[in-house]
Structure 1
């Protein structure tokens, strides 16, 4: 390969986090082929469609957590916002409110949580684990209270079967160009937030905060504003996932989104987003979400127990974070010098 051919490849690999993202994609292909060899049904068209639809939830949650992780923070309230979104939207629709208005109100509620998270962490310097742990309980409490500590009735009881079907087709059961709308929704959101993170000043500021918050301040970065923006991204993605779960079930479930904040961490770190901040790209998060769902799907297809699934995914998450720590500490370089 001559030098002219090497330049584009070198430039591609020079993008921060690209190496980890490509590694995740290679791992995805290997995992998918391995499961397909064990059970050829993995390769079926319907299974691929179902995999894409299920992956979409992990992708959105991964985007939510990745934005926050890149700043060196974390958002433990994601899963509770998912549940809050699902319950608020479903409860309002069972009272007869139009789906559009119910969606707007659910989104506003999630954005309020995002603003609170951003200010607690960015302005008041609360440890993100503590700040978002608090809002996690608040949001889940709202999810319980909004319908009197019980799951909602079917949304069709309030808005009618035709409107309920339209809502469910929009967010979960419907297809466009042969692919479930859930995936298209996630893809559009992914493209928007990928552009913001990789091509805008806000994206550069997010990386700057995660790399060195003090240096970012000296460079004129508004740390509070940027931190709030990352938590708002988390809120938007969480709200959409709540709507997807509401459409899937046709009702609101108070426990919707349980543990999703951890799924978001897994999707991010598997794809190379560092929990230590400053590193990672959303292409890696896409790959991480796909790896997570492919593992879950493949293990289900070969009849593995749920416990085994959790152990396998847990080991991969720990290995991904351990690799990040080792690389950051320069251990590989030290060994080479010896």
Structure 2
């Protein structure tokens, strides 16, 4: 009897360890990329100034990837977010520069505009049964055309300092430390609540040693990040926005009924429908959330560049999809995490930044990122096939 109990316990330990190995594979790959570029650049890659630029570069893709994860998890795709980034950035720039609107009001109106666009696209997908691929492909062309029209195909500059601060400002160093402490406390609290909840409902609980190891690892990562950023100018405001949105949407995905229903829809739409989930309403809200995030990304990009251009956001939809997939989101639906997408965006930005630092030709950058994307999709398909055979 005791032997059987020990076998069960050992199997559970192996399960948790295997889960963590899969979850942190991308982190290991990221560390290897950083080590490689640090060595090749003579240490320039990990200098605080370059890391600050790196995190700034990844911010727009990260915000888009956060929304893209949920859309892909539900079995859809959104090809319009890049053009929507350009359009919302153009709208924000016109309101702030041409009409002299206050930056805060401009942000609110632009985000609301993004939500309305999402409502329009989501309506076609959810209530008119037009495939998301077609709706958002059409949206990609429409939004780019509208941007060309309202901007008269010209760059819109003259943004206020308050507007540009969102894309170029930094969180004060003292506040950065406070944010780091709060991040560790929140992570620890969520981990404890998860353990309590799983124990309450009779589910397996990961070993305490593993939970403590996670807390230590996250603490090291958080404070290393904060100290590195404080060694330059502080945490960039765009990456602070990314962290805030990632926390909010991770909570939505993991701790709300809506989030669980999205994963259920992506995993088995027919079973989700039979269980009483209102698929149309959930799908509509998906695109509202995704396009709202695209509007936020448009504001960040415009503020960082200091102007709105007609080419802003071009190809960003592919970067967002690649970040989500590289981070473990399955194109078949039903699987994916916000944290994985952030890591995927960081991998993409690290490759861009590192190869640019090494003066690698642009065409090689596209080739490398494309190859990594194909490899990531293959790994997802291969792991699913092994799981089904098992």
Residue aligned with 2:123, SS: helix
Give 1 or 2 for the bigger CA radius of gyration: 2
Assess if the C-alpha contact under 8 Å between 2:166 and 2:300 holds in 1. no
User: Which shifted more, 43-52 or 258-267?
Assistant: 43-52
Cα deviation for residue 277 of structure 1 reads 0.5
Following superposition, the deviation at residue 301 of structure 1 comes to 1.4
* Counterparts of residues 32-51 of structure 1 (less than 5 Å): 32-39=34-41, 40-51=43-54
2:110 is the alignment partner of 1:114:
no
Q: What is the distance in 2 between the residues matched to 1:165 and 1:112? A: 27
Pick aligned residue for 2:29 from 27, 30, 35: 27
Residue in structure 1 matched with residue 348 of structure 2 by the alignment:
292
Does 1:272 pair with 2:328? yes
CA distance, structure 2, for counterparts of residue 57 and residue 245 of structure 1: 6
Change (3 A) 1:153 1:49: closer
**2:77 corresponds to which residue?**
74
Per the normalisation by structure 1, the TM-score is 0.89
Please say which of residues 109-118 and 253-262 is displaced more in the overlay.
Answer: 109-118
Q: Which runs of 5+ in 1 are unaligned?
A: 156-163
Distance 1:333 1:147, change over 3 A: closer
SS in 2 for 1:146: helix
SS at structure 1 position matched to 2:365: helix
- Structure 1 position 233, deviation (Å): 1.8
CA distance in 2, matches of 1:21, 1:142: 41
Residue 109 of structure 2 is aligned to residue 105 of structure 1: yes
Q: 1:138 aligns with which of 139, 142, 152?
A: 142
> Deviations 1:31-76 (Å, cap 9, x if unpaired)?
1111111111012111111111111122111112111100110001
Residue 3 of structure 1, CA deviation: 8.4
Q: Which TM-score applies when normalising by structure 2?
A: 0.78
Q: RMSD between aligned alpha carbons?
A: 2.2
Q: Deviations over 1:266-314 (max 9, x none)?
A: 1000011011110111111111011111111111111211110110000
Kindly indicate whether residue 128 of structure 2 is the aligned counterpart of residue 124 of structure 1. yes
Residues 1:125 and 1:99: Cα distance change in structure 2 (over 3 Å): same
Gaps of 5+ in 2: 1-6, 174-233
Deviation at 1:326, TM superposition (A): 2.4
Spell out, residue by residue over 1:110-130, the C-alpha distance to the aligned partner (whole angstroms, 9 max, x if none): 112211221211221111110
> Secondary structure of 1:253's partner?
coil
Of 70-79 and 223-232, deviating more is 223-232
Cα contact 2:103–2:162 (8 A) shared by 1: no
Shift of 1:205: 0.8
